[in-house]
Amino acid sequence: MELKFLLTFGVDGPEHYDDYYRLMADAAAQAEKRGLQLVLKPHGGVCAASAELQRCLDKVGHPNFKLWFDAGNIIYYTGRDPLKELDPIARHVTGFCAKDCPGPKGEVMSQLGTGKVDFKAVFAKLKAAGFNGPIMVEGVKVGATAAETTANARANREYLEKVLGAVRV
């Protein structure tokens, strides 16, 4: 299948954090043997925002364990500013999930640029940190028809192309 990344979301309960760190250290080592990179995506709990993500990196302590940043999830789970949350961890980001969010627990199946994520600023910060990884579009507004949903997906792609083009300048 030519996979390059294995994505994990962490755990919610603090009573499971230490087991999670140990499991990820073992998984990162095993993934590396198979030419895969293990990446953690912010998703509340043990990986809610930058402090928790950095703690995961420190506790796992394996160079094959990196981050897949999701600015929309930072807003969804914590209400924090994803741009500020990116500062201390940007150098560890190897992939990006493009998803917008209007606020905590807000709708994430939406169009890029309609929520609180400042994609241009986030991508500029990632570029400054040396990011050159994949971008996965996770959310799209589901339309009343397949054609409408397809048009929304196309609009999200075009939005990203425009934002990325502006960052290259």
- Residues 110 and 35: their CA atoms lie apart, in Å, by 34
Query: What is the assigned CATH class of domain 5-168?
Result: alpha beta
pLDDT for residue 1 = 74
* Complete edge-to-edge strand list for the sheet that includes strand 135-137: 5-8, 37-40, 65-69, 93-98, 135-137
Per residue in 101-156, pLDDT tens? 999 999 999 999 999 999 999 999 999 999 999 999 998 999 999 999 999 999 99
Structure tokens at 169: 């300048």
Q: State yes or no: pLDDT of 100 exceeds 70.
A: yes
- Residues 141 and 110: their CA atoms lie apart, in Å, by 4
pLDDT for residue 94 = 97
pLDDT for residue 44 = 96
pLDDT for residue 2 = 86
Per residue in 30-61, pLDDT tens? 999 999 999 999 999 999 999 999 999 999 99
pLDDT for residue 120 = 97
Q: Which value, in Å, is the radius of gyration of the alpha carbons in the chain? A: 16
- Residues 69 and 97: their CA atoms lie apart, in Å, by 6
pLDDT for residue 133 = 95
Average pLDDT over residues 12-32: 98
Average pLDDT over residues 74-96: 98
